[in-house]
Structure 1
Amino acid sequence: MPGTLPVPLTIELPQGWQSAPPDEVGAPHAAFVALHMASRGQGFMPNITVTGHTLDGSSSLHSLAEASVRRLRENVGAVDVVKRTEVGTSPAPGLIDAPGIVQNLRIQATVNGQPMELAQSQFILVLENEQRRSERAEIEIALTAKTSQLQDVLEDFQAFISTLRPAAPTPEAPTSED
C-alpha cells in the first residue's frame, strides 16, 4: 500500500515523466512516484519519489538528512554524501518558502542483480500545519538516476520542485440536518 503525505501538496510533472503506482515500481512507502519514460530500456529509469511523515519533537534539518542517508545505507547499500545545503531561510526563486535541505548522494546499489552507481538528489523540507502550528511534517522529494543520466534529468527535477505547493484546503461539505 503506498504511503500518504501528512499534508496535501500539488505538483506538476515535467514533460516526459509519468506517474506510476508506488507498489508496482518497488517504492511501497512513497506517496508518489514518477518515471522518466525516455529512459526506458537503459537499464535504469530515473525516478522522482515523494514521501512524508509527521514529525515528533523538534528534529533538525541535518538530523532529518542524516536519517535519510542512514535508511538508504540500511536498505540499498553504500552511500556517500557529496553535498548538503540548507535552503528556505531566504527563499530561492521557485522553491516553496519553508526550511529545507538539499543533499546530493552517490549510492552503490544492486539493480536487477547488477551493481550500479546511482546519484540521488534529495530535497527535504519541513512544513508546519497552518491550523495547528505545533504539528510539523517532513516531506522528502528525491530524484534517483544513474550517474550517467543525472545531467539529462536534473533540470526536470528542479522544474518539478518549483511547482510544489501546499494544496488549497478543500471546503468541508455542508451537513444537512433533518
Structure 2
Amino acid sequence: MPSPMPVPLELRLPEGWHAASPERVGVPDAAFVAVHAQPDEGFTANVTVDSAYRPDAATLAEIGDESVRNLSGVAESLNLTSRHEIGSAAAPGLTQTLTLTTVVRGVLRELAQSQVCLSLLDVHDPDRRMVVRLILTTTAAQHDDLLEDFRDIVATVHPAN
C-alpha cells in the first residue's frame, strides 16, 4: 500500500514518463512512482515521491544526510557528488546528486540519483512542516539525458486543490 501524502500533491510528467504502481516497481513506501519508457541495459529510470511531517528541527541538509545514510545500507559504494540549497526562506529546498554501485535484481549496477527535498509549511499552523522528497534514479549513462525531465517534474509540484 503506498504511503499517503500528508498533503495531496499534483505534478505533471513529461513525454516518455508514466505513472506506475509503487509495489510493482519495488518501492512500496513511495506515495508516487513514475517510470521512463526507455530502459537502459535492463534498468528502468524512475522518479519516486514521498513525504512526511517533520516536527523536529532537522535542517534540510540533515534530512539529506539521512537519505544518504539510508541509501548507504543498500549500496556497495556511494558518493555524494553535489549538494545545493534552493528556494527561499519561505519555501526552502535542497538538491543533491549521488552516484552509487548496487545490486538491482541480481545485477551489479552503476546508478545515479538526483534528490530534491522541499519544505512546505502548513499555512494554518507554521509549526507543522512537511518535507517532500523527489528522487530520480537512473543508470550512470542515462542520468544527464533525463535530468532535465526531472527538473521539469519538480517544477510542476504543487498542493492539490
Name the TM-score class by shorter chain.
over 0.9
Aligned partner of 2:68: which letter?
A: V
> Is 1:132 matched up with 2:93?
no
Q: Which stretches in structure 1 are left out of the alignment for 5+ residues?
A: 91-96, 169-178
TM-score under structure 1 length normalisation:
0.86
Partners of 2:83 and 2:95 within 8 A in 1? yes
> Is 1:60 matched up with 2:59?
yes
TM-score under structure 2 length normalisation:
0.94
Written as runs of structure 1 = structure 2, the 5 A alignment for 1:3-152 is 3-39=3-39, 42-89=41-88, 98-152=91-145
The structure whose residues are more often strand, as a share, is: 2
Give, in whole Å, the separation in 2 of the partners of 1:111 and 1:77.
Answer: 11
Identity in percent: 38
Higher Cα Rg, which structure = 1
Q: What is the aligned residue count?
A: 161
> Which 4+ stretches in 1 moved above 3 angstroms?
none
- Say which is worse superposed, 127-136 or 61-70, in terms of deviation: 127-136
Give, in whole Å, the separation in 2 of the partners of 1:79 and 1:144.
Answer: 13
Q: Which stretches in structure 2 are left out of the alignment for 5+ residues?
A: none
CA shift, 1:78, in A, is 2.7
Partners of 2:55 and 2:127 within 8 A in 1? no
Report Cα offsets for 1:71-115 as digits up to 9, x if no partner.
Answer: 11123443210000000127xxxxxx7201000000111012111
Give, in whole Å, the separation in 1 of the partners of 2:143 and 2:51.
Answer: 24
Secondary structure of the residue aligned to 1:38 is coil
Give, in whole Å, the separation in 1 of the partners of 2:81 and 2:57.
Answer: 26
